[in-house]
């Protein structure tokens, strides 16, 4: 595997990055830590001839966890070692600490993690391997090997941070040619999209950073991940949960899942009915079962879909029992 030649741009501001992007429509990628993009390039997956590195854009490196601000170029290592995040936003620090290996976390960034390419057993392969099979919809081909009768891609969203940021109620700031906007992390991912068109970002938009609500210190959260090799692998399932109680009843409860479908999902429909209720063991069991029933993994990662679905229920139950105040 080798890296083909590309032209590297190194803008110093977000505005410069946007201008370079608009000069090369459809022919560029933004480059953050490169820990996902460059291995994919080496496998000749959707190469672009222009790379716009965000490494010199100082604005994107701002890290002010006490004020709830995390720039998109902040490294995962900084998140996992932040005492403020560990204490106030445990799910986020835990999720960061579970990405890949220490070496990858030293380069991998928050923005790159939120926009990480979706994964599939038939996609994350070398060019000769894919060619032998006739390629697929997501790169160079016109059919899907996982669900052949559909013209959709079912590649799995396998970033760890998104579910954690979703349950914490975080918002991303996005910069584009028409200005800047903020939207909830949960709304960054396209509910009508698939493994190819996965976010609602317009072409050429830059992710500037993430705003995490500071809260009043009562919220508790956690993140747990199922993977084949615990020291290395992408999630086969990621479960984030956040809980705030008041007078023994649920004030706020969020659960978000990753590693199962083409986008991470906030399970608001399932959790909302519990607001104002006591979080008994029976309710936890019922909710875990509802969440388990609603997920639809397909057979394109290492572990079987049935097993991942079953473990979804187990992980949700464990997460909530761990967050629940002991009575
Ligand atoms: C061995 C190995 C194991 C891994 N395991 C995991 C894992 O367990 N969990 C996990 O979540 N990830 C894993 N990864 C993937 C990756 O390392 C992380 O997701 C990392 O956080 C990606 O960040 P990056 O800065 O390297 O992104 P890059 O590779 O630089 O970029 C990823 C994508 O995001 C886009 N992008 C990046 N920043 C911006 C921005 N600010 N604005 C607009 N677009 C942007 C890029 O154009 C590209 O499409 C693994 C990678 C390796 C090599
Ligand atoms: S789900 Fe289908 S189209 Fe998508 S990457 Fe896998 S084989 Fe390709």
Q: Of 193, 192, 188, 207, nearest to 138 (Cα)? A: 193
With bands split at pLDDT 50, 70 and 90, how would you rate the model's confidence at 326? confident
Asked whether the beta carbons of 254 and 268 are under 8 A apart, the reply is yes
Mean pLDDT of 49-59: 98
Q: Which domains does the chain have, with CATH numbers?
A: 1-53 (3.30.43.10), 61-211 (3.30.465.10), 220-323 (3.30.390.50)
Q: DSSP secondary structure string, 216-269?
A: -S--EEEEEEE-SSTTTPPPSEEEEEEEEEETTEEEEEEEEEESSSSS-EE-HH
Of all protein residues, whose CA lies closest to atom 40 belonging to ligand 1? 207
Q: Of 182, 183, 189, nearest to 257 (Cα)? A: 189
Mean pLDDT of 262-282: 97
pLDDT tens string 88-110: 999 999 999 999 999 999 999 99
Q: DSSP secondary structure string, 173-197?
A: EEEETTEEEEEEGGGTB-TT--SSS
Q: DSSP secondary structure string, 135-178?
A: -BTTBB-S--SSSTTSSS--PBP--SHHHHHHHTT-EEEEEETT
> Given the CA of residue 159, which atom of ligand 1 is nearest to it?
11
pLDDT tens string 218-239: 999 999 999 999 888 999 999 9
Asked whether the beta carbons of 205 and 188 are under 8 A apart, the reply is no
Distance 264 CA to ligand 2 centre (A): 17
Q: Of 101, 94, 40, 84, nearest to 221 (Cα)? A: 94
What is the CB neighbour count within 10 angstroms for residue 81? 14
Q: What is the pLDDT of residue 215?
A: 87
With bands split at pLDDT 50, 70 and 90, how would you rate the model's confidence at 2? confident
Distance 30 CA to ligand 1 centre (A): 11
320 lines ligand 2 (CB under 6 A): no
pTM of the prediction?
0.98
């Amino acid at each position: 595997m080798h890296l083909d030649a590309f032209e590297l741009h190194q803008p110093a501001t977000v505005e410069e990055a946007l201008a370079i992007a608009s000069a090369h429509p459809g022919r560029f990628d933004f480059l953050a830590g490169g820990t996902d993009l460059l291995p994919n390039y080496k496998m000749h997956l959707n190469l672009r001839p222009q790379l716009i590195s965000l490494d010199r854009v100082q604005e994107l490196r701002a890290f002010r966890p006490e004020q709830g601000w995390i720039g998109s170029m902040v490294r995962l290592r900084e998140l996992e070692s932040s005492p403020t995040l560990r204490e106030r936003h445990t799910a986020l620090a835990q999720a960061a600490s579970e990405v890949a290996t220490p070496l990858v976390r030293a380069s991998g960034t928050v923005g790159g993690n939120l926009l990480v390419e979706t994964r599939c057993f038939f996609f994350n392969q070398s060019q000769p391997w894919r060619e032998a099979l006739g390629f697929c919809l997501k790169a160079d081909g016109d059919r899907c090997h996982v669900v052949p009768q559909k013209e959709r891609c079912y590649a799995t969203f396998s970033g760890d941070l998104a579910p954690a940021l979703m349950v914490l109620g975080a918002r991303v700031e996005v910069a584009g040619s028409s200005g800047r906007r903020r939207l909830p992390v949960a709304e960054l991912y396209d509910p009508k999209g698939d493994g190819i068109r996965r976010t609602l970002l317009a072409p050429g938009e830059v992710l500037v950073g993430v705003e995490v609500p500071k809260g009043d210190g009562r919220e508790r959260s956690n993140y747990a991940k199922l993977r084949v090799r615990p020291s290395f692998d992408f999630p086969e399932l990621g479960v984030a949960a956040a809980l705030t109680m008041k007078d023994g009843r649920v004030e706020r409860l969020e659960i978000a899942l990753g590693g199962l479908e083409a986008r991470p999902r906030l399970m608001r429909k399932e959790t909302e009915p519990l607001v104002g209720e006591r979080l008994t063991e029976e309710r936890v069991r019922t909710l875990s079962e509802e969440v388990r029933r609603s997920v639809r993994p397909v057979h394109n990662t290492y572990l079987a879909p049935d097993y991942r679905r079953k473990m979804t229920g187990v992980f949700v139950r464990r997460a909530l029992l761990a967050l629940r105040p002991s009575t």
